[in-house]
Amino acid sequence: MMKKVFVAGGAGFIGSNFIRHLMAQRPDAHVVNFDALTYAGNPRNLADVADDTRYAFVHGNVADAAAVAAAMRGCDAVVNFAAESHVDRSIEDAADFMETNLRGAYNVLVAARDLEVERVLHISTDEVYGPATKENPRREDDAFLPRSPYAVSKAAGDMMCHAFAETYGLQVVVARPANNVGPYQYPEKAMPLFVTNALDGQPLPVYGDGLQIRDRLYVEDNVRALLLLLERGERGEAYNIQADNHVSNIDAARTILDVLDKPYDLIQFVEDRAGHDPCYYMDWSKLRALGWQPEHDYTDTIARTARWYAEHRDWWEPIKSGDFRRYYERQYGDRLANARPYAGTSS
């Protein structure tokens, strides 16, 4: 049984949901949350557990090998969420992505090996496989064809885990989740951006024709799978995590507007993302064999997410009024000035 879990990147979206789940499900487990608090890290995501004696926060960067090793000492399990996670930012500049997603992953693995940590879980992504369709879903041992700088940096970290399992016998397991949606997701990502813009009566910037497809995996389903993999995943194995809630971006935008009772003409078609992957699709029978099933379908996932943001303006309003505004202007200023309106579209 795990006594002390080192979590890297636990102040972000999935990491904070995971820590909350872990502490509720494993009352004996202690957590060390090691996080650099980049723009995406937010201590408020874990305000409800911050005073728990089983929880400790360490402000540190995974690119700093000595800091990682010092904070990990005494832990018997490790989960690595720490990453630069946004594809559009990686298109602007991927230097931090290489530093955190590759060097940082390497440092976490080295420390876990040297400290003889019993179990390591590394969070990768479905994007390492590159585009795939329902007719030809990717399996865990399929080739990687990552197409964005983000996906390449994640593929490199993922492969490093396999090297550590093979070379040093490290008990490391890799999780490859689909697109997560739910509470505490930074509003640069499509779903929280669309929801919060809709709540403010602002345009929903849909890239290209909006026909690109993503799974919408509710984050609570994902963190259940992650705890299962941390405890029961096999050494050196990767596991796909998908909810089969695939839907196009334009349909997702319309669902959000339906749930919030807002007009479709808030949708604006804007210049597409460069190298935009049309769809990801995975076979997840390996995870199903461990007993996991998603509990939230697409409609439930979107409705819960939209309601959470409607009820938590105090969480996202400070984010959207801070540095985020400069990013928003860079990413969407020209796009929205040259947008194609929703009205009259046949999409």
Q: Does 177 bind ligand TYD (CB under 6 A)?
A: no
Q: Which residues pair with 145 in a beta bridge?
A: none
Which pair of structure tokens corresponds to residue 318?
Answer: 């400070």
Which pair of structure tokens corresponds to residue 127?
Answer: 């994007």
Sole binder of ligand NAD in the list 19, 29, 46, 62 (CB under 6 A): 62
CA distance 99 to 179: 23
CA distance 179 to 184: 14
Binding-site partner at residue 87 among ligand NAD, ligand TYD, none, CB < 5 to 8 Å by type: ligand TYD
Binding-site partner at residue 324 among ligand TYD, ligand NAD, none, CB < 5 to 8 Å by type: none
Q: Does 207 bind ligand TYD (CB under 6 A)?
A: yes
What residues from 66 to 85 belong to the interface with ligand NAD (CB under 6 A)?
81-85
Q: Does 259 bind ligand TYD (CB under 6 A)?
A: no
Q: Candidates 165-173, 203-211, 219-227, 336-344 — which segment interacts with ligand TYD by CB under 6 A?
A: 203-211
Cβ-proximal residues to 245 (8 Å cutoff; 6+ apart), any chain: 215, 216, 217, 294, 296, 297, 298, 301
Q: Candidates 10-18, 131-139, 282-290, 298-306 — which segment interacts with ligand NAD by CB under 6 A?
A: 10-18
Q: Does 242 bind ligand TYD (CB under 6 A)?
A: no
Q: Candidates 61-69, 152-160, 202-210, 222-230 — which segment interacts with ligand TYD by CB under 6 A?
A: 202-210
Q: Does 205 bind ligand TYD (CB under 6 A)?
A: yes
From the list 32, 31, 318, 60, the residue with the least C-alpha distance to 186 is 318
Q: Of 98 and 270, which CB lies nearer to ligand NAD in the complex structure? A: 98
Asked if residue 84 lies in contact with residue 10, where contact means CB atoms within 8 angstroms, the answer is no
Binding-site partner at residue 111 among ligand TYD, ligand NAD, none, CB < 5 to 8 Å by type: none
Tell me which residues are annotated as active site: 126-127, 150
Q: Does 187 bind ligand TYD (CB under 6 A)?
A: no
Cβ-proximal residues to 263 (8 Å cutoff; 6+ apart), any chain: 257
Q: Does 249 bind ligand TYD (CB under 6 A)?
A: yes
Binding-site partner at residue 257 among ligand NAD, ligand TYD, none, CB < 5 to 8 Å by type: none
Q: Does 9 bind ligand NAD (CB under 6 A)?
A: yes
From the list 34, 35, 36, 30, the residue with the least C-alpha distance to 5 is 30
Binding-site partner at residue 256 among ligand NAD, ligand TYD, none, CB < 5 to 8 Å by type: none
Which residue, judged by CB position, is nearest to ligand NAD in the bound state? 12
Q: Does 105 bind ligand NAD (CB under 6 A)?
A: no
Q: Does 90 bind ligand NAD (CB under 6 A)?
A: no
CA 79 to mean position of chain CA atoms? 13
Q: Does 222 bind ligand TYD (CB under 6 A)?
A: no
Q: How many CA atoms lie within 13 A of 157 on its CB side?
A: 38
Q: Does 149 bind ligand TYD (CB under 6 A)?
A: no
Q: Does 320 bind ligand TYD (CB under 6 A)?
A: no
Asked if residue 345 lies in contact with residue 269, where contact means CB atoms within 8 angstroms, the answer is yes
Contacting residues toward ligand NAD, per CB under 6 A: 8-9, 11-15, 35-38, 40-41, 61-63, 81-85, 100, 104, 123, 125, 154, 177, 179-180, 186
Contacting residues toward ligand TYD, per CB under 6 A: 87-88, 179, 189-190, 193, 205-207, 212, 214, 249, 273
